[in-house]
Structure 1
Amino acid sequence: MKISAIVFAAAAASGVAADFWISYLQNNVVNGPLIAGNRYAEGAVFVKDPQFNCDRDAGSHYIWGNTDDVSGDKAGMRTVPGKDVGFPLFRDPLDVVEFNTGSNQPGHHTIYKDRGYAMVDLAGNKTGQCKLNRNFVINLDCYRGDEHIIMKGSSMFFCQSDIGLN
């Protein structure tokens, strides 16, 4: 009994890694009702599995849209150099990726290529370590009821961090 309590306490004290993927997703609803107020959206999504499928992923991810400014209460994702290169990568290269999800997890962080893809918070503290990974391509035509949902994109990063996802 004492051993299991010690193991539990050690695990709680060290934090449990909440590894996640950041993918770039272009989502287009060709017909049917609005999904989260958008018929078309593109930007960052935070997922546990980078291999998308229609049953699990069609219309189920909040997309943090592309923007030039994610400071303060401005939500979204900013990429530097921010160049749209089309399908499947859409944004490349990824020298700086800054995202702000407001009060939702993971929050406001920046990933820097020149720091080995370290993820840092607004105070400059390292909050995770990401690895550039563009290997998972998203190219799906999905049907859900009356909706025809076209999803395109690719994985961007695999991140290891103690911050969680909602």
Structure 2
Amino acid sequence: MHFTLPTLAFMAATILPQVQANFDVYRTEWIYINRPAIVWQFFEAEPSNCDQVVNTPIWEDHGDVSGSKLGVRCKGSGCGAQPPPDNIDELEIHTSNNPLYHWTLYKNRGRSMIGLDGNAYGNCIVFPNGDYNCPVAGQVFRIEGRRKFRCLTRFTAPQLNSNARVANARGEVDAPPLLTLAEYIAAMEGTEGNRTAVPFTS
């Protein structure tokens, strides 16, 4: 039996699952002279070095990310650095209104990425390990990241992160235009910051 190219293409589209992309959700704690602050970051996979960590946009941890408020809202005992991520009851991600990147993961709904319209746009799984510890700017700053989830969806980390600067320019972010840890550190230190590839420490 022989198949034409259009027939083969149709069969492949029917049989093979839709290609999806992954993004990993990290709870990031950056510590400046023993004063911690909590932010969130999205990576395509486990970051390869500290240079990638400090040059990836950060999203603030907020109690309300509805409407024009962007950031991440976490609810549950698993939101801390050490507790297991399976103890997170809700994780709401909102990084853009145009295009709309706004989903909530509910533990009691299987952690599907539920949009404002009630539809599922992907599925997230508990995905610990892959943590990092980065001393930066002569040990003045320390950055510790804990991976919480991996999300299987057509949306990617670059998509979520690429909107950060645009959203800030539109006034959708009530924060100074410091969108990566490297930029924040540079502003605090009055320098360009440490942008060299630094290996992770244990």
The verdict on a shared fold, with TM-score over 0.5 as the criterion, is: yes
Equivalence for 1:142 = 136
TM-score under structure 1 length normalisation: 0.72
SS in 1 for 2:145: strand
How does 1:2-151 map onto structure 2 within 5 Å? 3=5, 6=9, 10=13, 16-28=19-31, 41-57=37-53, 59-81=54-76, 85=80, 87-88=81-82, 93-103=87-97, 107-143=101-137, 149-151=141-143
Instruction: Give 1:36's aligned residue.
Output: none
**Structure 2 residues not aligned, in runs of 5+:** 160-202
What is the deviation of 1:56?
2.4
Which of 1 and 2 has greater Rg? 2
Instruction: Mark the CA change 1:27 to 1:90 in structure 2 (over 3 Å): closer, same or farther.
Output: farther
Distance in 1 of aligned mates of 2:58 and 2:86: 18
Q: CA deviation at 1:97?
A: 0.3
Code of the aligned partner of 1:72: G
Residue equivalent to 2:169: none
Percent identity among equivalent residues? Answer: 28
Q: Which has the higher helix share?
A: 2
Q: Distance in 2 between matches of 1:75 and 1:15?
A: 29
How far is the alpha carbon of 1:105 from its aligned partner?
7.2
**Unpaired segments of 5 or more residues in structure 1?**
31-39
Distance 1:68-1:105 versus aligned 2 partners, 3 A rule: same
Runs of 4+ residues deviating >6 angstroms: none
- From the two aligned structures, give the one with the greater strand fraction: 1
